[in-house]
Amino acid sequence: IDCWFDSGSMPFAQFHYPFENKELFEKHFPADFISEAIDQTRGWFYVLLTISTLLFGKAAFKNCIVLGHVNDEKGLKMSKHLGNVVDPWTVLNKQGADAVRWYFYTSSAPWLPSRFYEKAVSECQAKYMGTLWNAYAFFVLYAEIDKYDPSKYTLDDCKLTVMDKWLLSKLNSLVKAVDGYLSEYKTFEAARLMQSFVDELSNWYIRRSRERYWGEGMTEDKKAAYTTLYTALVTFAKVTAPFTPFIAESIYRNLVPEFYKDAPESVHLCAFPTADEKYIDTELEANMEEVEDIVVLGRAARNASQIKNRQPLQKLYFSVGGGKPLAGEFYEIAQGELNVKEFEVLTDATDFISYKIKPQLKTLGPKYGSLLGKIRAYFETCDASEVVKTVRRGEVYKITFDDKVVELTEDDLLVSTESKEGYVSASENGNTVVLDVTLTPELIYEGIEREIISKIQNMRKEAGFVVTDRIAVTYQADGEVLKTLETRKDGIKKAVLAETYENAEPQGFVKELDVNGEKAIVGVKKI
């Protein structure tokens, strides 16, 4: 008998059933889960199903994940003859087991072929584990400075900000969703959701909250920030433990057992977390998603005008289209992220944008074919902004030609925009962001100040200083940079932790800096 018959008999043969062990067999049959590569559809999977159906009238397994084949970078089957075999030990020793596991979770659905090569694993490692580790390292860095003890604080005792509440909502929504996906054996969907959460944790929550950790002393706001981030990191370590066991263990063991003596010593001895429904606020999550959309539009507008985000701008206008405006605290988050002084919500942005409209031939052709020439001529001379305003309100714009009425809706128009002088805009899905890009001398000097601070902070890192080190700053410069160094020294000193700050021969770690096209020589020295 073919060897597959032996393999297909294993569900009952392993217990010597039906000759004995009836209860043991019934306890384990059918199996909860099996997995093998796609070629087993004609091998083990098929024989298991056939034998079990003949003998017991049902499948030998409840769930089956069929795995696609692992190919090379070009999608070709690996072969020693072709020389395209990737040595797994090379990747495991360099990128690590977690990186390899995560690559297979997220590169494609399990049943599809995957292209396995070292560069792809490295990119996957940086995007997920690198980002998660940076978030963890950020917390540890400042928690050690402030001697934060998580056992002394609870979320209920903290005055949470809207950012804190949002992160806790996202965290508990994630736990709930991942638990649901795993119960259905949907590893790909769960992993993609986790990837998104890590990105938002680092590049949204920490990015928008980092200044809360910088002040001296354990303020109420700092307690809330630490406790929220600690909760997120520990909970997420438990979520990612089945996926990336080593990084999860490292984070957990450094954050939990030292402070909670009764806690399990390993994350792998912990139960999978349970979502706390009281923290889930879907409306808050939707509102924050809209804020992130505003920021994306704002960055696009800045890029279009080639103005760095470090350069402050005076005002941002936001048109919600037909949507409902958000509460002011949400716009303040976008205002801070886009580095603008003021924020105004508009019903529409037509005062800042010039419109050009053309007939949409697909819709107007069948309805008003003989009048297309007249419609096109009308569009060239009419008030295009009025036409656009009307149709975007959901109303019909009417034109009369020789007693014939043409009725236009938004679908009948091809609309292009051009920002008016002094402004730049970006639009998507009916929302529009407009930036006032007029730069006053005060804004320019503040932009130079931010640029100087950023470059000195980078010098601190290059010199190997820790974040609490106090330093002496010496500099030589000309022009606008010198003026900024002199007139805005208080802000610069505070930001870079400078005890002394003078226009003199640069000392210590010295670099020549390019500040918006002007040169400055700066020295930093630990005191």
DSSP annotation of 519 = E
Instruction: Report the pLDDT value the prediction gives residue 214, as an integer from 0 to 100.
Output: 87
Same domain assignment for residues 17 and 53: yes
User: Rounded CA gap, 48 and 59, in Å?
Assistant: 8
CATH number, domain containing residue 262 = 1.10.730.10
Residue type, 302: R
Same domain assignment for residues 314 and 428: yes
Q: Which residues contact 96 (CB under 8 A, 6 or more apart)?
A: 125, 246
| Token output for 17 | 């059933």
| Any domain includes 517 | yes
Instruction: Report the pLDDT value the prediction gives residue 1, as an integer from 0 to 100.
Output: 62
Same domain assignment for residues 368 and 448: no
- Which residue, of 234, 255, 280, is where some domain finishes? 280
Same domain assignment for residues 180 and 155: yes
Provide the residue-wise pLDDT of the chain in tens; the chain has 527 residues: 678 888 899 999 999 999 999 999 999 999 999 999 988 888 899 999 999 999 999 999 999 999 888 888 888 888 888 888 888 898 899 999 999 999 999 988 888 888 888 888 999 899 999 999 999 999 999 999 999 999 999 999 999 999 999 999 999 999 999 999 999 999 999 999 999 999 999 999 999 999 999 888 889 999 999 999 999 999 999 999 999 999 999 999 999 999 999 999 999 999 999 999 999 999 999 999 999 999 999 999 999 999 999 999 999 998 876 567 788 889 899 999 999 999 998 877 778 888 889 999 999 999 888 889 999 999 999 999 889 888 888 899 999 988 889 999 999 999 888 888 899 998 887 788 999 999 999 999 999 999 999 999 999 999 999 999 999 999 999 999 999 999 999 999 999 999 999 999 999 999 999 999 999 999 999 99
| Any domain includes 90 | no
Angle, to 10 degrees, between the axis of helix 441-462 and the axis of helix 489-496?
30
User: Rounded CA gap, 109 and 66, in Å?
Assistant: 10
Collapse the DSSP code of 318 into the 3-class scheme (helix H, G, I; strand E, B; otherwise coil) and give the result: strand
- Half-sphere exposure of residue 302: CA atoms within 13 angstroms, side-chain side: 20
Instruction: Report the pLDDT value the prediction gives residue 217, as an integer from 0 to 100.
Output: 84
User: How many domains, in total, are found in the chain?
Assistant: 4
Is 508 within 8 Å of 472 (Cβ atoms)?
yes
Q: What is the pTM of this model?
A: 0.84
Same domain assignment for residues 129 and 269: yes
Residue type, 143: A
147: left (phi over 0), alpha (psi -120 to 50) or beta: left
Is 222 within 8 Å of 161 (Cβ atoms)?
no
Instruction: Report the pLDDT value the prediction gives residue 322, as an integer from 0 to 100.
Output: 58
Backbone angles phi, psi at 158, to 5 degrees: -100, 145
Same domain assignment for residues 161 and 271: yes
| Any domain includes 241 | yes
| Any domain includes 519 | yes
Instruction: Report the pLDDT value the prediction gives residue 326, as an integer from 0 to 100.
Output: 81
Same domain assignment for residues 292 and 274: no
Is 349 within 8 Å of 425 (Cβ atoms)?
yes
DSSP annotation of 212 = G
Backbone angles phi, psi at 407, to 5 degrees: -110, 120
Same domain assignment for residues 407 and 519: no
Instruction: Report the pLDDT value the prediction gives residue 421, as an integer from 0 to 100.
Output: 87
| Any domain includes 101 | no
Q: Say if residue 113 is preceded by a cis peptide, omega within 30 of 0.
A: no
Instruction: Report the pLDDT value the prediction gives residue 417, as an integer from 0 to 100.
Output: 80
Helix (H) or strand (E) holding 353: strand 353-359
- Which residue, of 252, 280, 308, is where some domain finishes? 280
Is 456 within 8 Å of 321 (Cβ atoms)?
no
Q: Which residues contact 416 (CB under 8 A, 6 or more apart)?
A: 355, 356, 357, 358
Instruction: Report the pLDDT value the prediction gives residue 347, as an integer from 0 to 100.
Output: 77
Same domain assignment for residues 242 and 299: no
User: Rounded CA gap, 104 and 114, in Å?
Assistant: 8
| Any domain includes 78 | no
- Half-sphere exposure of residue 224: CA atoms within 13 angstroms, side-chain side: 19
3-state secondary structure 23-71: HHHHHHCCECCEEEEHHHHHCHHHHHHHHHHHHHCCCCECCEEEECCEE
Q: Comparing C-alpha atoms, which of 37, 191, 233 is closest to residue 103?
A: 191
| Any domain includes 135 | yes
Same domain assignment for residues 431 and 318: yes
- Which residue, of 367, 402, 437, is where some domain finishes? 437
User: Rounded CA gap, 237 and 175, in Å?
Assistant: 11
User: Rounded CA gap, 150 and 223, in Å?
Assistant: 9
Q: Say if residue 257 is preceded by a cis peptide, omega within 30 of 0.
A: no
| Any domain includes 103 | no
User: Rounded CA gap, 110 and 112, in Å?
Assistant: 6
CA distances from 49 to 21, 32, 61, 344, 513 (A): 22, 14, 8, 65, 70
What is the DSSP track for 126-145? IIIIIHHHHHHHHHHHHHHH
Helix (H) or strand (E) holding 190: helix 187-200
What residues make up the domain containing 512? 442-526
Same domain assignment for residues 269 and 290: no
User: Rounded CA gap, 483 and 314, in Å?
Assistant: 21
User: Rounded CA gap, 382 and 356, in Å?
Assistant: 10
Instruction: Report the pLDDT value the prediction gives residue 483, as an integer from 0 to 100.
Output: 96
Same domain assignment for residues 158 and 245: yes
Angle, to 10 degrees, between the axis of helix 97-107 and the axis of helix 118-125?
90
